[in-house]
Structures are given as C-alpha cells and as structure tokens.
Amino acid sequence: MTTRTPLNLSEVERAELGHVARRASTPQALAKRCRVILLDDPEDMTYAEIGEELALREQTVLKWRSRFPKHRMASCVTRPARA
C-alpha cells in the first residue's frame, strides 16, 4: 500500500475549488475534478469511496488526485480538444 501525499490545500485553494464546483456554468467534468480534490483533502475517504460518491471509477479519482500536488489548480483544467 502506498502512502498519500498530503494535498495541504490553502484556504484560497479550498474556496476556489468550492466556488468552481458549485458554479452553475462550470462544465460537469471540471466540477467533478474539483470535488475529487475537496473530498480527498481531509484524507478520511478512500479513493473508492470518493469514486462512489461522485459516480467515478477509482482509477479516475486517483488520476485527478495524483495530478493535483504537482500542478495545483491548473491540474483540474485539461487542454482544449484540437479541431
């Protein structure tokens, strides 16, 4: 079993993630990425439990969660699709 790298969200990051997740105009995929981070910050839920809560596969939760420590908020946004 691997240990989690703590996210250590700042109050500003937590507020921004919450705002983006709740905003009606936010695309659902982006809102779910933000919720993954918000649910994982206290580290009291497993990846499977977070996935169940958000209707995501555990692997998807792990993917978005693992990107956050390196890229912070930028990790929640993907590059636009090429035309």
Binned at pLDDT 50, 70 and 90, residue 43 comes out as confident
76 or 27: whose pLDDT is higher? Answer: 27
- pTM (two decimals): 0.81
Binned at pLDDT 50, 70 and 90, residue 2 comes out as low
User: One-letter amino acid identity for 49?
Assistant: E
H helices of 1-54, where?
Answer: 11-22, 28-40, 47-54
What residue segments make up the domains of the chain, in order of their start?
11-75
Which is nearest to 5 in space by CA: 51, 53, 70, 61?
70
**What pLDDT does residue 7 have?**
86
**What pLDDT does residue 65 have?**
87
> What are 65's two structure tokens?
């969660």
pLDDT mean over 23-48: 90
CB-based contact 50:61 (threshold 8 Å): yes
Binned at pLDDT 50, 70 and 90, residue 79 comes out as low
pLDDT mean over 53-62: 93
